[in-house]
């Protein structure tokens, strides 16, 4: 149990409140409170603020504990890599991990060992990235890149460029990120790797869309429009590739992966249509992605993004109550199912839209609508799906 988890449990017990009572106050499930107190899950910054408020814990005390817990969780996941490959360069905090040197006979097959090591380094870099540990993510992916370059493995290099680009993007370093993401797309195109190319195109599209929004927020409307159009092109190409994979792959699991990839590309197209105020097109995109994510795949985690997209669409249409409701629904799923926070660079866009809603709704109306969205997800997910279809005009 982490110090953060213990502090939450102690504060709740001191106030003689049950997990259910605290859950109702902060807007989550009693099960999730239990996961927080056991150290299995970590709350978002927003939920942590509400916990601090209702449990009467000073923010300045709680947040350092939260950051420490996030770091410990990240390091725990990375121990697998350090244990299997003890010779990689790691930071002081991991030096105490026992060395395991006999995982593979390097003398017998050094190239196979190097490829396996690079693969694990990239996997670990992705774990570190999703936990917000960007410095360590760079250390790991840079090492993987060096190995793949030495092996002259274009697919491995492309994958490393993609992870490097995503890490830089989530840090808000969009200019550097674009270089790596474009290189990832180029290399995947060269080796005719449809699956990874589709994924790389989607990530490049996310970056371009965010840059377009930032440009428009600065008043650079022409540049913003051009970037959004470039994002649209990447999402369209990604969708076509995933559709092609869905039609050609044989295995059910592979087909499902391709369908989810296609739905993600369609959802991202919807975000561009929303940004450009093409509301009817945006509705069609969100309807199509919802149909795949939920009707076909029952992918609750992905529905967090769909609800967030619908919320942004509602805000654009000045339907402020609906916007707050769907943001509340999305937040629950981000906290409970996705297990990692929204990247800071995308959180900035999220906060900008939330700020617009706050300007239009009084605190009571905002809280009521936001709580209703959270309640629907926790108590009746099908009702939440129904409300989403209803808003999109599918019912």
Q: Which residues, at least 6 apart from 344, have a Cβ–Cβ distance to it below 8 Å?
A: 132, 170, 171, 172
Helices (H), the chain: 3-14, 19-26, 30-38, 45-55, 59-84, 110-130, 134-151, 154-171, 174-190, 194-217, 221-248, 252-275, 279-290, 300-316, 320-333, 344-360, 363-379, 381-392
**CA contacts within 13 A on the Cβ side of 194:** 16
Q: What pLDDT, on a 0 to 100 scale, did the predictor assign at position 102?
A: 41
pLDDT exceeds 90 at position 178: yes
Cα–Cα distance, 275 to 324 (Å, whole number): 18
Furthest-apart CA atoms within the chain: distance in Å: 69
Mean pLDDT value of segment 336-357: 72
List, for residues 21-39, the tens digit of each pLDDT value: 999 888 888 888 998 998 8
1.10.150.130, 2.60.40.10, 1.10.260.40, 3.40.190.10: which CATH number matches 1-57? 1.10.260.40
Give the residue, 352 or 84, on which the prediction is more confident: 352
Minimum mean pLDDT range among 68-77, 203-212, 247-256:
68-77
pLDDT band at 246 (very low <50, low <70, confident <90, very high): confident
Q: What is the mean pLDDT of the chain?
A: 85
List, for residues 70-87, the tens digit of each pLDDT value: 777 666 655 655 555 555
Query: Are the C-beta atoms of 156 and 148 separated by less than 8 Å?
Result: yes
The domain locations on the chain are: 1-57
pLDDT exceeds 90 at position 51: yes
Query: Are the C-beta atoms of 3 and 39 separated by less than 8 Å?
Result: no
């Amino acid at each position: 149990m982490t110090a953060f988890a213990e502090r939450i449990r102690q504060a709740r017990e001191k106030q003689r409140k049950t997990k259910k009572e605290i859950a109702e106050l902060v807007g989550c499930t009693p099960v999730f409170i239990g996961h927080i107190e056991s150290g299995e899950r970590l709350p978002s910054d927003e939920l942590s603020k509400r916990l601090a408020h209702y449990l009467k814990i000073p923010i300045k005390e709680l947040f350092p504990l939260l950051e420490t817990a996030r770091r410990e969780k990240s390091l725990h996941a990375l121990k697998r890599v350090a244990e299997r490959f003890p010779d990689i360069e790691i930071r002081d905090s991991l030096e105490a991990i026992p060395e395991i040197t006999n995982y593979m006979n390097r003398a017998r097959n050094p190239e196979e060992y190097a490829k396996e090591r690079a693969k694990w380094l990239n996997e670990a870099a992705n774990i570190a990235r999703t936990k917000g540990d960007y410095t360590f993510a760079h250390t790991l992916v840079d090492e993987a890149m060096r190995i793949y370059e030495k092996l002259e493995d274009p697919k491995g290099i492309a994958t490393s460029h993609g992870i490097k680009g995503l890490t830089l993007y989530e840090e808000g370093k969009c200019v550097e990120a674009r270089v790596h993401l474009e290189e990832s797309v180029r290399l995947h195109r060269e080796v005719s790797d449809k699956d990874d190319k589709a994924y790389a195109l989607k990530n490049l599209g996310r970056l371009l869309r965010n840059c377009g929004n930032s440009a428009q927020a600065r008043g650079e409307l022409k540049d913003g429009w051009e970037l959004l159009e470039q994002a649209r092109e990447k999402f369209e190409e990604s969708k076509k590739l995933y559709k092609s994979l869905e039609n050609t792959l044989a295995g059910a699991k592979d087909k499902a992966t391709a369908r989810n990839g296609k739905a993600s590309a369609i959802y991202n197209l919807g975000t561009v249509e929303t940004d450009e105020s093409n509301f009817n097109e945006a509705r069609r995109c969100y309807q199509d992605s919802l149909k795949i994510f939920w009707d076909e795949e029952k992918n609750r985690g992905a529905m967090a993004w769909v609800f967030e997209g619908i919320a942004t669409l509602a805000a654009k249409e000045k339907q402020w109550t609906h916007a707050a409701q769907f943001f509340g629904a999305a937040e629950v799923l981000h906290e409970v199912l996705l297990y990692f926070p929204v990247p800071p660079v995308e959180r900035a866009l999220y906060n900008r839209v939330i700020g617009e809603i706050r300007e239009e709704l009084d605190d009571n109306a905002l809280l009521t609508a936001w709580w209703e969205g959270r309640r629907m997800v926790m108590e009746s997910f099908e009702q939440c799906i129904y409300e989403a279809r209803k808003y999109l005009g599918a019912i």
